[in-house]
Amino acid sequence: MTEKNNWSTKTVEEILDELDTSKEGLSQDEANSRLEKYGPNKLEEKGGFSPLQLLIDQFKSILVVILIIAAAVSGYTAYIEGEAFTDTYVIAAIVILNAALGFFQEYRAEKAVEELEKMITQKVVVLRDGEEKQIESTQLVPGDLLILEAGTRVPADSRVIEEYNMAVDEAVLTGESVPVHKSAKAEEEEKSDPSNLIFMGTTVTKGRARAIVISTGMETRFGEIAGMVSGLEKEAPPLKEKMEGMGRQLAAISLVLTAWIFIMGYFFLEIELSEIFLTAVSMAVSAIPEGLPAVLTITLALGVNRMAKQKAIVKKLASVETLGSTTVICSDKTGTITKNEMTVTNIVLPNRKIEVTGTGYQVEGEFKENGEKINPEEDEQLELLLRTGVLCNDSSLIKESTRVNVVGDPTEAALLVAGEKIGYTKDKLEKEYELLDEFPFDSERKMMSSIRKGGEGGPLVYVKGAPELILQKSVSILTSEGRRELTDEDVESQKENVDNMAERALRVLALAYKETDRKEEYEQEQVESGFTYIGLVGMIDPPREGVFEAIKLARNAGIKTVMVTGDYRVTAVAIAKEVGIIEEENEEKVYTGEDVEAMSDSDLDEIIEKVSVFSRVSPQHKVRIAESFKREGHIVAMTGDGVNDAPALKTADIGVAMGIKGTDVTREASDMVLEDDNYTTLVNAVKSGRQIYDNVTKYVRLMLSANFDEFLLITASITLGLPLPLLPIHVLWINLVTDGPPAVALSMDPPSPRIMERPPRNPEEGLLNRFWKFILVASVIGFIASMLIYRDSYLMLGDLNLARTMVLTTIVFFEMVLAFQTRYERRNILQQGFRGIFGNKLLVGSVILSILLHLSIVYIPFLSNIFKLSPLTLRELGVCALGGLTALLIMPQWLIKERWYHPEEHQVKT
């Protein structure tokens, strides 16, 4: 319904009257009419992704636009001169290659996400015309009467009108891992979490119910959150912004200097229009690193492929680098830091405490008392407790090849798994202990009783429930010495155990049993009294394996992990302590959603960096938290799996969705999807992002040094009245072919062993802030060497083609030596010795390949004619090689600013 009513406070009769329906359901004609009025019960289509738009996006980069303009100018020049369009074809080819690489990788990522999002159309059971009918969930309308049972996913927001022992898992909306019991009773006042409303996307874990649909499609809570996501704009990734900024700067410099050379040459030096136009094109081409877009795309694509093998699907290439610059990870608790699988971790028997190992729904585990392994089958108390947990149970485990699925309540599933750790499967015990009768759990009694025959004596009543009620109804207690009368001291002792377990955020159940007689019919009041108390089980949704280590690794890398969850404070804090997010709880580190709600944006900004845990937060709070960190200058990654996480994922610099337990809305909003839902995979992605950024700066230094060298050479030659030293095709050859293979090899340079031991980059740091001195000095040294060789060879030999060949060869050799030099920031290549040269074998091979490619255009007549070059003698080649070795004069340790900036200025407090 489009209008919002107080559905939870209305009686069933008022609901039926307001929606003009009945307990017989709608008529089919009325349902059809309402379908036309309200539309299908589905979220608005966002159009998915358009391959055409994806292709167009590849041409929006400023560097690519400049290349397209350069190709057009080059083509126009060739047309005027009546020459071949070689330069034009080369530039066009690199533009097409760059677009193809980017399109292919992002298209493949989008298709992979589509596969994750494919779901079989949900079928639901409704009453129409008084008869049960199975229809597609998209055909539901307000007023439909739903029939629900355990395992059913709720297809639309609905008001419960009848229920039998119903519980619903609302983790997808709230983040809470414990199912919520539902009731058909009207609430006395409106609440944010009413017990009689169920919402789209949640799952019925136990019991059955009938409910009236009150909202469908975008009018549901699920739809409202999806709408919030669609209204949020994503900011450009930091690397993309920096590359675009650098492209604009290079374009401006190129335009100004090229215009100046054109004006000086044509109007003052009276050079012919065609010649000065060719010179201007050469300068423009030399100022722009044509190969940079393609190499950047290749670098990101290779990084994406590496991550895909590690179970991370990256939807946008630039997102990889963004992860590398992350300073804060805001992570949901349930299903991300934890397994979203309730696990029995502690058992407390009278005067005994037992630890249970193993996590989640995997049945491997041991029972330990005082650190020593014990055998439950030889322990009367423990065996009876585990047997009770399995037999007094409505849930079941469905084992698949790679995981275990639960039908029913996760709390009961934890008891089943604990039983299976000693071989007590539900099927096995139910065959041995036949069910005679049972009284299911309900929210008023807070217990469940199962009466079964079997064993040596008569029937037994197996009971589980709230500890205070089980103790109240118990008259005896089972100890290691046997059964005896329950005393007040026993009760107080067990209540103290319950309190201690609750303080550790454990969900606690008590188990008991009772001997009874075989009867035709059992009365609940008679059965549920006079229990023999067995003990307590404590369970929790445990952290994932490796999360503690991953969070520690992130902290060592200067990245703060903040838990942002809808779960209760005590549970959130307990898990946060266990995984190392916080070491000691204090008021500054833990805030609730109510605290956030009461704060203005400026107030939130003041405390945001001190906080480690946000509990009981809403989707809107998560968005505000992400925005606050961003206002404080941080690069924010947000993880999550529920629809409640989607808006915050869209707001963050990079949103990371879960592939297994994530919703389609969350995956749509994300930049990256973790196929294995593993937090450790995210930290590996951070490492990959840092590696990629490091490697980007390496080949950017290489390519810009080459470009500035060429630009200075052409400018100086024109100023000195010398002929053009490099033709446009020569510049393109250097920038694309000879520099290309080493640049690609540098993009795959192995990561530094200490890459995750340094703080994140200053988010405000430009791409080349630390390297401009290196680029300037390298360009000047290369320019001096090439200029001297060009001037002397031209003046002494008088052969322009030979002089151009020598200067081109000198630049190529210089760039090849420089490629090794750019691998290190703090030491000269000679100081690295053998390791410095062969640390990247791919680079060695690519340098050899580039040299061979260059020699081919010098010595193969067909190619040398195209490039207008002349063969070199061995002596001339040696002179060029010596010119190239001048790159060894560069001392990076004097030129590159220290990486380590002040952490107190740029790191979040942990």
Tell me the catalytic residues.
Answer: 332
Beta bridge partners of 145: 127, 212
Using alpha carbons only, what angle is made at residue 211 by residues 208 and 215, rounded to the nearest 5 degrees?
135
* Most distant CA atoms of the chain, gap in Å: 119
Q: How far is CA 520 from CA 29, 441, 728, in A?
A: 48, 22, 99
> Distance between CA atoms of 214 and 224, rounded to whole angstroms?
14
Q: How far is CA 543 from CA 181, 332, 411, 638, in A?
A: 25, 12, 16, 18
Cβ atoms within 10 Å, residue 28: 12
Q: How far is CA 326 from CA 546, 617, 690, in A?
A: 20, 23, 9
Question: Does residue 142 contact residue 214 with C-beta atoms inside 8 Å?
Answer: yes
Estimate the crossing angle of helix 740-747 against helix 841-859, to 10 degrees.
170
> Distance between CA atoms of 645 and 330, rounded to whole angstroms?
10
For 325-370, where are the alpha helices, taking DSSP H only? none
Using alpha carbons only, what angle is made at residue 292 by residues 291 and 295, rounded to the nearest 5 degrees?
85
DSSP string computed for 706-722: HHHHHHHHHHHHHHTTP
What's the half-sphere exposure (Cβ side, CA atoms, 13 Å) at 817? Answer: 22
Q: What are phi and psi of 770, to 5 degrees?
A: -85, -10
Determine the 3-state secondary structure of 482 from DSSP: strand
Cβ atoms within 10 Å, residue 169: 24
Token digits for 869? 């070059």
Using alpha carbons only, what angle is made at residue 644 by residues 642 and 648, rounded to the nearest 5 degrees?
110
Sign of CA dihedral 340, 345, 347, 351: negative
Residue from 776, 700, 731, 703 nearest 280 by CA: 731
Sign of CA dihedral 468, 469, 473, 478: negative
What's the half-sphere exposure (Cβ side, CA atoms, 13 Å) at 669? Answer: 36
Tell me the residue length of the chain.
910
**What distance, in Å, lies between the first and last C-alpha atoms of the chain?**
46
> Distance between CA atoms of 537 and 573, rounded to whole angstroms?
21
Token digits for 422? 């000693």
Beta bridge partners of 180: 168
> Distance between CA atoms of 577 and 841, rounded to whole angstroms?
44
Residue from 784, 839, 837, 815 nearest 887 by CA: 815
Residue from 99, 156, 34, 118 nearest 664 by CA: 118
Residue from 506, 570, 485 nearest 347 by CA: 506
Residue from 148, 214, 207, 201 nearest 7 by CA: 214
Token digits for 386? 């585990």
> Distance between CA atoms of 499 and 772, rounded to whole angstroms?
62
Question: Does residue 213 contact residue 140 with C-beta atoms inside 8 Å?
Answer: yes
> Distance between CA atoms of 814 and 802, rounded to whole angstroms?
18
> Distance between CA atoms of 97 and 298, rounded to whole angstroms?
10
Token digits for 65? 């636009």
